[in-house]
Amino acid sequence: MNIIPTQAKWLLALGSLNAALAVALGAAESHVLKEQLIAHDPTHLFQLALQYHQLHALGLMIVGLAVTRFPDTRCFAWAGWLLLSGIVLFSGDLYLRSISGLHGLYMSIPIGGALFIFGWLLFAIGVLRLPRTGQLP
C-alpha cells in the first residue's frame, strides 16, 4: 500500500476541488452573463474550447501519474475517463461550433462541463481516501 504525505494529500485534494469549482464558476458566468458575453463569436468559442482542453489535458496527465503511483485507487482511473469524456463533449462541441457553425449533440457542452466537475470531485475523493502520514504544519 502506498502512503502519501499529509501535505501532498491536502494540496492534491484542494487543487482538484478548485478545478471543479473553476469549471462550475465558468458555467455560472456563461449562463448568468449570457446576454453580455460574445457567445456566438466563433473566435470566442474556439478560445474557450482551447482553454478547457489545455487545462484538462494537464489534468489527465496529473490523474495518469496518480493512477501510476496508486493503481489500487479506482477513483483516479474513473476521474481520468470523466475528464477525457468532458474534453470530447465540451471542447469537441465548441470546436465544431466555432469552425463549422454546427452544434454537435444536444446538451453536450453542459454534460461535458458536468463530467469535468465530477471528474475533479472524484479525484479529490480518491486523494482523501489515501492513507496518510504526518500532520499538517
Are 79 and 62 contacting, i.e. CB atoms less than 8 angstroms apart? no
Please give the C-alpha separations between residue 76 and each of 24, 65, 95, 121, in angstroms, as whole numbers.
20, 9, 27, 10
- Answer yes or no: are the C-beta atoms of 15 and 123 closer than 8 Å: no
pTM above 0.75, yes or no: yes
Closest C-alpha to 57, from 96, 83, 28? 83
* DSSP annotation of 21: H
Q: Round to whole Å and give the CA distance between 91 and 56.
A: 10
Which residue type occupies 57? A
Q: How far apart are CA 68 and CA 116, in angstroms?
A: 21
Residue 51 has pLDDT above 70, yes or no: yes
pLDDT for residue 29 is more than 80: no
pLDDT of residue 35: 55
Q: What band does 23 get if pLDDT is binned at 50, 70 and 90?
A: confident
pLDDT one-digit tens code per residue, 90-136: 999 998 988 888 877 889 999 999 999 999 999 999 999 988 765 44
